[in-house]
A and B are shown apart, each in its own frame.
Chain A
Amino acid sequence: AFTMKLGVVTKPGSAQNIVAEKFKELVEQRSNGALSVKIFHSASLGNETEILQQIQLGTIQLGIITSGPFDSFDPIVRVIDYPFLFKDSQQADEILDGPLGQEILTSLESSGFKGLCFSENGFRNLTNSRKPVNSPNDIDGLKIRVMSSALHKAIWQALGANPTPMPWPIYTELEQGVIDGQENPLWVMEVYKFYEIQKHMTLTRHVYSAHIDVASLNWWNSLDSDTQELLQKSMYDAAKFQRADNRAKNAQRLEMLKQKGMKVVETPDIGALREKVSSLKEIELFSDPKVQSLLTRTLEATR
């Protein structure tokens, strides 16, 4: 039996791991044991960028990776991270499972990745230890931890915050007040226990955080078409399973976070927030013609 290696950076129970485990289950079941999947989790192989490089090198075959780190390989993935792009999950699915999403997956081939499909971290929300956030004014001057990404920095600067890059994990820094807040999907607040140290949460849903589920292109091309089909189908089914699972759990998570004492602003002034970032589509990061074209068409389609 051939064992393929799949890398994720997060620990068991996290969104990426749920996709990975479902994929493993489906592949092993559907191939009647002819194929097996070994999952490497908790960053045992390196960070997400390094996992992607190992996929390019063919050292491992597959990865469930958040869209951010793809940025340094192919700028087209920035379109997914554009702020306030998708109204809701259904719209995200429509776009990413449709031709526009396919365009992104196909584009990754020039970097040596076979893009299989998208799964999700989910919509990102803001938490902080200082005050309830309803409108852009409340964000002014908050020290928000953001990922080391020029786009995320630009988003939070536009929203008026003081975006602070900080390596994960950030629990202690939040606890100690080195930073005021952070922004992540709901499952992160649950799994990393941010409800213990962050009083306020606002359902800003400012960025839809997707995973791109990829394989090594060289390896993929060496497979026969039956195997390709089995793997493609299994990954897609695993992704659909995980998206549904994540969304179903979000309602409970929100209840749980409130029960733990978080004050949640469920309907902030999204219009005003969106207005603040409206000039972002003109910035340098989206200036590449291919990127600009996809962004324009996606904004059109989600209007």
Chain B
Amino acid sequence: MELSLLGLGSLMTIIVIAQVISRYGLNHSLFWSEELARYLLVWLTFLGATVAYFRGMHPGVDVIYRRLSPENKRYLRIISHLLCLILFLVMIWQGTQFSYFVRLQITPALNLPKWTIFSIIPISGLIFMLHGFAFIWRELFTGEHRHE
């Protein structure tokens, strides 16, 4: 997963640099570069967000949480993961529906089927959900948790 971020991020950087060089060096603007780089950014966003969730890096407001007993902290973490599942399930369910909804549309510059681009949302929703289940499982049955 982290390797995919390396690939997406470096490819995006290279494309933007290539566009500048091509525009000045060759006086020929790459027509596909802007669109492709944008979609790489979207993929990077959603995949990167799942990695950040796995690592517990998404910022929250912890003023109350910090003052709780370890036991109460554990309850709050479980509640938080359960609530997040609402978002993840909508990403999976509605994301699949939306990908189907745009199945006939193509992207303007690259002529790619749009559903392939949009599918990153249900895919990342699924990854989010699996992480979420794993967190809850550990909290409930093994007593471990990855992060404070």
Direct contact of A and B (CB under 8 A): yes
State A72–B107 Cα separation when bound (angstroms): 7
Q: B101 near A162 (CB under 8 angstroms)?
A: no
Are B114 and A165 neighbours in the complex by a CB distance under 8 Å? no
Chain B residues near A166: list those with CB within 8 A: 34
Distance between B37 CB and nearest chain A CB, rounded to angstroms: 11
Contact A143 B29 (CB under 8 A): yes
Which residue of B29, B31, B102, B108 is within 8 Å of A71 (Cβ)? B108
Q: Does A163 contact B (CB under 8 A)?
A: yes
Contact A165 B106 (CB under 8 A): no
Q: Report A1 CB to chain B, min CB distance, Å.
A: 30
Contact call B102/A53, Cβ cutoff below 8 A: yes
| Per-position binary interface string of chain A over residues 40-58, scored 1 when its CB falls under 8 Å from any chain B CB and 0 otherwise | 0000000000000100110
Give the contact-size bracket for chain A: 20 to 34
Q: Is A165's CB under 8 angstroms from B102's CB?
A: no
A164 contacts B111, CB within 8 Å? no
User: A72-B114, A148-B34, A148-B35 known; A164 and B107 CB under 8 Å?
Assistant: no
Q: Does B27 contact A (CB under 8 A)?
A: yes
By the criterion CB–CB under 8 Å, are A163 and B108 in contact?
A: no
Contact A73 B27 (CB under 8 A): no
Instruction: Give the residues from 155 to 177 in chain A that come closer than 8 angstroms, CB to CB, to chain B.
Output: 162-167
Nearest chain A CB to B60's CB is how many angstroms away? 28
A164 contacts B105, C-beta separation under 8 Å: no
The interface residues of chain B lying within 8 Å CB-to-CB of A165 are 29, 31, 34-35, 109
How many whole Å from A236's CB to the nearest CB in chain B?
28
Asked if A251 is at the interface (CB within 8 A of a chain B CB), the reply is no
Check if B23 is an interface residue, CB within 8 A of chain A: yes
The A interface is mostly helix, strand or loop, or mixed, namely mixed
A141 in the interface (beta carbon within 8 A): yes
Contact between A164 and B108, CB atoms less than 8 A apart: no
Of chain B, the residue at the smallest CB distance from A157 is B31
Q: Does A248 contact B (CB under 8 A)?
A: no
Give the docked Cα–Cα distance between A255 and B102 (Å): 45
CB-CB under 8 A from B145, the residues of chain A are: none
Query: How far does the alpha carbon of A73 sit from the alpha carbon of B109 in the complex, in Å?
Result: 14
Q: Report how far A234 CA is from B111 CA in the complex, Å.
A: 36
> How near does chain B come to A142, taking the closest CB pair, in angstroms?
10
- Is A223 at the interface (CB under 8 A from chain B)? no
Is A150 an interface residue, CB under 8 A from the partner?
A: yes
- Report whether B111 and A73 are in contact in the complex, using a CB–CB cutoff of 8 Å: no
How far, in Å, is B18 (CB) from chain A's closest CB?
Answer: 14
Contact residues in B for A56 (Cβ distance below 8 Å): 101
- Report yes or no: A72 in contact with B106, Cβ–Cβ below 8 A: yes
**Nearest A residue to B29, CB-CB:** A164
- Which residues on the A side are within 8 Å of B29 (C-beta)? 143, 162-165
A positions within 8 Å CB-CB of B: 53, 56-57, 71-73, 111, 141, 143, 147-150, 153, 162-167
21 contacts between A and B (CB under 8 A): A53-B101, A53-B102, A56-B101, A72-B105, A72-B106, A72-B107, A73-B105, A111-B104, A141-B27, A143-B23, A143-B29, A148-B35, A150-B108, A162-B23, A162-B29, A163-B29, A163-B31, A165-B29, A165-B34, A166-B34, A167-B34
Residues of B within 8 A of A (CB): 23, 27-29, 31, 34-35, 101-102, 104-109, 111, 114
* Nearest 7 A/B pairs, CB to CB: A164-B29, A148-B108, A72-B105, A165-B34, A148-B109, A153-B31, A149-B108
